[in-house]
Structure 1
Amino acid sequence: MKPKKRRQRAKREKLVILYEDRHILVAVKPPGMLSQGDITRAPDMLTEIKEILWEKSGQTRRPFLALVHRLDRPTSGLMVFARSSKAASRLGKAFRTHQVVREYVAITRGIPEETGVFSDLISKEIATSGRVQVKQERRDEEAFQDKEKHVEKHDIRNERDGGHQGHIGVHDSKGLKAHTLQEERLQARLKRPDLGAPQNQKSRPARKEWLEASLSWKRLSTDWQRDESLLLVTLSTGRKHQIRAQFAANGMPLLGDRRYGKGDARDRSVPTVALHACRLTFMHPVDKTICTFNSLPDLNPSFSDRDGIVLKGALERHKPDLSHLSL
């Protein structure tokens, strides 16, 4: 066996599988590993778990395993995979409709209230900087793009001051200029991907798409000297980089976050972001029982042993909120 393959196999053997049956598998992702393979061809959870199952089965055919959610590469913690097509479909829907309780332990550079909620808008796509953007007000996309524009259509022919026939007045709170019917037709055309912009007419840049992003937290402990807090964070939605981006946007980036953090000596003193998916609760896709899995951040060196002890007590005291699950 080649040295590179031996190293990959050694890493694979260290992966922790907490539970498996015919339909689901729950494993713990180490920090730095991809959830799914990409063009870098770096090791990823989906491929490595497939290889483990294949080696255990002794069969020539590789087993079925489907990814139903992801963790950011630097984040460690619990992941559930589907081992059947039925489970893949049902678990995928459960994640899309927020029927899974996802809880994380995190260390923030800053001290929030004992409990709290963030409800922001977050960009759907990652910018060239590698970060998502956060709007710290819950408003719909039109409110952001058009400053609460009020559109009123009327026939200018009926106005007392006359005016050109065929115009439609479009007014907002700041008295924006009216558009002609020709301009209205152009806008309608631009919305048709099969038509596109007319010849010699430049198309306008696409609007940025914003998604609701909500989470809540409980403060578990505080290091007053370092101005840091250990939090139990519960996701209400699951967006790219959500926890990292929202805490950074609210002035409390996570410890060790190379993308959203402070980038100072304290951040560089730990090898990865202090974020670990510590509890996962969902309805089993086939037998319909409630499944809860816990994981302490032993694999994440940015947490101390004391952090693990505090988290263990918190998970025992604070049971997951199942009120929004369709039981």
Structure 2
Amino acid sequence: MSKKTLSNKNNLQVIYEDNHIIVVNKRAGDIVQGDRTGDKPLSEVVKSYLKEKYKKEGNVYLGVVHRLDRPTTGIVMFAKTSKALPRLNKLFAEKTAKKTYWALVKNAPPQLEDTLVNWLKKNPKNNKSTAYSKEVNGSKKAILHYKLKQTLDNFYLLEIDLETGRHHQIRTQLATIGCPIKGDLKYGFDRSNKDASISLHARTLSFVHPVKKEDIFITAPLPNDPLWKACNTN
């Protein structure tokens, strides 16, 4: 039986859990997996949560299914069993798991809805991607669909569906149409958010459960921020 809980211990917000899967609402600043910063990753926080909740002895199994950029918030899924991990990986590889993102941007997009196609090339030295209108050496094709969801005071709420999963894809492609994401200094916004976040949120995830074969739809609550609170959540 699935469980939907909100757990604030260790600042961990669990939004879906069953025997095979756990989904959390990532905070800005959390890293999904360990990196050279040495900061405790979200995967270890989730392991600690599972160890304590189920009074497990020894190591706790947890498989990382996908990632989010450190300043981004929203849905992150983990596999609780070795049986579920390859099946979940297959859902994402075959694009049968559907994820939508919400972004608060500075300028009105040129169209109410559109498909953006670029070729992105990552520069590992500054951890930044550059978008090109045609293929260049070392670039990868990037496709996303956006639509204007709401007009706010001085900002615009966009809903984004990805066809591809490239490095900083949403951030890079929206910047190319003059719509840098709020707080994203790296891609052209003029000032940072107070909490060092960028206003990009992995909002929903839908998929067929790889073990139970049920349709699952998950929504991640928006960050506790006045501008996000002004958004229509329907």
What TM-score does the superposition give when structure 2 sets the normalisation length?
0.89
Match of 2:157 among 211, 230, 238: 230
CA–CA separation in structure 2 for the residues paired with 1:304 and 1:222: 12
Match of 1:74 among 58, 71, 74: 71
Match of 1:118 among 107, 116, 119: 116
Post-superposition offset of 1:103: 0.5
Q: 1:108-134 CA deviation, whole Å, 9 max, x = no partner?
A: 1211121111111112x4431220121
Match of 1:268 among 192, 199, 219: 192
Name the SS of the counterpart of 2:218 in structure 1: strand
CA–CA separation in structure 2 for the residues paired with 1:35 and 1:80: 10
| More helix as a share of residues | 1
- Which residue pairs with 1:210 in the alignment? 139
Is contact 1:213–1:236 with CA below 8 Å preserved after alignment?
yes
- Which residue pairs with 2:222 in the alignment? 297
Name the SS of the counterpart of 1:298 in structure 2: coil
- Which residue pairs with 1:42 in the alignment? 39
Match for 1:238: what amino acid?
G
Post-superposition offset of 1:270: 4.3
Q: 1:210-229 CA deviation, whole Å, 9 max, x = no partner?
A: 22211111212224x63x31
Match for 2:142: what amino acid?
A
Mapping 1:1-327, distance limit 5 Å: 12-112=9-109, 113-123=111-121, 125-137=122-134, 139=135, 144=136, 208-223=137-152, 226=154, 228-262=155-189, 264=190, 267-268=191-192, 270-271=194-195, 272-299=197-224, 301=225, 303-307=227-231, 310=232, 312-313=233-234
Distance 1:296 1:236, change over 3 A: same
Structure 1 gap segments, 5+ residues each: 1-9, 145-207, 314-327
Match for 1:110: what amino acid?
N
CA–CA separation in structure 1 for the residues paired with 2:99 and 2:193: 28
Post-superposition offset of 1:24: 0.8
Distance 1:269 1:275, change over 3 A: closer
CA–CA separation in structure 1 for the residues paired with 2:228 and 2:19: 36
| More strand as a share of residues | 2
Is the radius of gyration larger for structure 1 or structure 2?
A: 1
Q: What percentage of aligned pairs have identical amino acids?
A: 31
Distance 1:126 1:98, change over 3 A: farther
Is contact 2:73–2:223 with CA below 8 Å preserved after alignment?
no
CA-based RMSD = 2.0
